[in-house]
Amino acid sequence: MLIFAKDIGTRDHKHALEDKLPELKQYMEYQRKLFPYTVVRAGLDLAYKELDDILDFIENGYRPPEDSSRREYPTDVNQWYKSRFPWSSAFLKMEEMHFALVVLIKAMDSFGTHEQVNAYHWAVLYDSAHNIIQVYNDLIRNDPGNSRDIHLSNAVEVNFDDFINNYWPDLDFMTFSQADYPHAHHQERKILLEEEIKDIMSEGVEPLVALEKLQPPFKLDSYTLKLLRRDPVETRFLELKGAPDTGSEFDSIYKEYIEDPQHGKLSVIDAEYIKNSEYLKAEAPAS
């Protein structure tokens, strides 16, 4: 199973303060209607099917294979790839993304181990989740009967921005790039990280060298550095190693506590849910 910022296999968390805060309770009820594992897995499945179809199309001399169920093929394959998977295509060729999808799907089916993903995987997972959520929300609005075939939630639209805020640990692969969504939960780190890089560059250091000079808490791991430098991608960068499931992978958010200025002592996960509920409320259009 892939390790996210929160456990994608758990969807019944009850917030310590939700019975005291009606708006927070409404937010948590929404969270409990989501199926995070299915969002991720269905997104990977859709991405794999789409990319597999296009790679077969290319291999067949840019002609639809006879056994294909796909109705339409792009006239410009490269443009389709960039449009359909904007973040993945920035760092990976189609064949590389296809390999990454196979690796990620296999890890999602492994329930006795946990796999830590890297920046390349986060970009692929981001695009995949975005696309399946778009498909699902369109069905919820226009064809709710068929939405049950995907079943990302209990009959509610999935807020992609909020999903990323809750389940992605960071968006370091977007450094010095702009997302199409606020992702407020991750903006503080992104802004401070970029300011730190600019400060290092102000000393006459080249941009790519500045990335390597970052210190904690902004120090980037080797895979993120390779991605941001656009290093040639090696297969080993996309492979995953599983570790036995110990049951303690999420202790840092469930069993560790912080002091919230307004609400006092809270578990890390409850503090994060409060922040993310406020971000979602702030982004909602005024009624």
Q: Residue ranges of the domains in the chain?
A: 22-175+233-283
Residue 68, pLDDT above cutoff 70: yes
- Buried b / exposed e along 221-253 (16+ C-beta atoms within 10 A): eebbbbbbeeeebeeebbebeeeeeeeeebeeb
pLDDT of residue 286: 53
pLDDT of residue 281: 94
- Taking the C-alpha atoms of residue 183 and residue 164, their distance in angstroms, rounded to an integer, is 7
| Average pLDDT score over residue span 51-62 | 96
pLDDT of residue 154: 96
Residue 44, pLDDT above cutoff 70: yes
| pLDDT digit string, tens, across residues 86-123 | 999 999 999 999 999 999 999 999 888 999 999 999 99
Residues sharing a CB contact under 8 Å with residue 44, sequence separation 6 or more, in sequence order = 101, 104, 105, 108, 125, 128
- Taking the C-alpha atoms of residue 203 and residue 210, their distance in angstroms, rounded to an integer, is 10
pTM of the model: 0.96
| Average pLDDT score over residue span 66-86 | 94
In sequence order, what E strands does the chain have?
113-115, 242-244, 257-260, 264-267
Stated as kind and residue range, the H or E segment containing 132 is helix 119-142
- Taking the C-alpha atoms of residue 281 and residue 126, their distance in angstroms, rounded to an integer, is 22
Q: Please calculate the CA angle 241-37-244 and round it to the nearest 5 degrees.
A: 30
Stated as kind and residue range, the H or E segment containing 102 is helix 94-108
Contacts 24+ apart (CB under 8 A), 210-219: 218/189, 218/192, 218/193
pLDDT of residue 149: 87
How confident is the prediction for the chain on average, in pLDDT? 95
| pLDDT digit string, tens, across residues 244-270 | 988 899 999 999 999 999 999 999 999
| pLDDT digit string, tens, across residues 134-191 | 999 999 999 998 888 899 999 999 999 999 999 999 999 999 999 899 999 999 999 9
pLDDT of residue 209: 94
Position 287 confidence tier, pLDDT thresholds 50, 70, 90: very low
% residues pLDDT > 90 (the chain): 90
- Taking the C-alpha atoms of residue 269 and residue 275, their distance in angstroms, rounded to an integer, is 10
Residue 69, pLDDT above cutoff 90: no
